[in-house]
Amino acid sequence: MEEKIDLTVSGPESGTRLDAFLARHLALSRSHAARLVEGGCVQVDGGAKRSAFRLRTGMHVQGAWRREEERRTITACEAPLDVVYEDPWIAVINKPAGMTVHPGAGTAGTTLVNALLARYPGIDGVGDPDRPGIVHRLDKLTSGVMVVARTAEAHRVLSAAFKTHGHAREYLAVCYGHMTQKTGTIENFMERNPKDRKRMTSRTGEGRRAVTRWEVLEDWKEFSLLRLSLETGRTHQIRVHLSDMGHPVAGDPVYGGRRRADILADTRIRSYVKGLGRQMLHAALLGIRHPHTGEYMEFTSDMPEDMKGFISILEECG
């Protein structure tokens, strides 16, 4: 059945790419949204635009598309899942570092979605066909707790809550250096890095508002352990915020967490950091309102062994 597109760009969305804007509002993958744009299904202020076109406040995005045409088959694959909680409406998963959340360009191996379809075949068709059941994501190299919708209604309610930040998310991170105070807030704007579209940057006065609150839990000679909470949920938000402050997450392959290891004074720590297979970032707590009962629920995930091992090294070395 054909669905109409009739959207107006709000102030915080100014500067957003057209394909990203459509993906967010229509609950599509970026690639699906780009196909709609390039296929002539979408117009901006009455004219055709490219997927990378930057929208401005007040612009009207209109068109029509058929949702069923956007479906593709994703194979269910048996894979271990650390299920924290499950009921007929949601499942809460402790995702390991190294597992990609959903299939996409360049994705190899079994993703979380492939494993979810094997355990919960009913999620096929829930939400975006490219990422059934998914309402929020963790980066491939970030571990921790995330919620999955098992019904269309749960997906709608949870997606709306994440868009309005009606939830609680806390992370643990080991970062380089020391913060100037014990607690603080990073608030600015984020957008795609104009020099590298796979990266984000907060060194800009445009884009979408991004707010991260942090608290120092422990300090060592060259690193700190932080607890961070998200008021917004932008792509790579914590990693970008800390990196742009001069405190990249240890082991981060994209935002400076590995390169900085070359100048570490302690040879044992330097060697350990260079051997890290991922950034030392863990989603430790997720608080949501249950999409069916409305009950507030919190789910936690213990710090994984690789982070505990790194912290042990830091404590030994002082």
Contact between 55 and 16 under an 8 Å Cβ cutoff? The reply is yes
Sheet of strand 2-8: strand arrangement: 2-8, 60-66, 42-44
> Percent helix, strand and coil across the chain, each rounded to 5?
25, 30, 45
The dihedral over CA atoms of 203, 192, 182, 316, expressed in degrees to the nearest 10, equals -110
Position of tokens 């069916």? Answer: 292
Residue 60: strand pairing partners: 8
3-state secondary structure 213-236: EEEEEEECCCEEEEEEEECCCCCC
DSSP secondary-structure letter at 13? G
Position of tokens 């949870």? Answer: 158
Contact between 170 and 228 under an 8 Å Cβ cutoff? The reply is yes
- The angle, 0 to 180 degrees and rounded to 10, between the axes of the packed helices 30-38 and 18-26 is 120
* Active-site option among 139, 196, 244, 266: 139
Q: Which of 262, 241, 142 is nearest to 185 (CA)?
A: 241
3-state secondary structure 69-92: HHCCCCCCCCCCCCEEEECCCEEE
d(CA 42, CA 64): 7
Active site residue 19: no
Burial class for 3, CB neighbours closer than 10 Å (0-12, 13-18, 19+):
exposed
d(CA 21, CA 191): 13
> What positions carry a catalytic annotation?
139
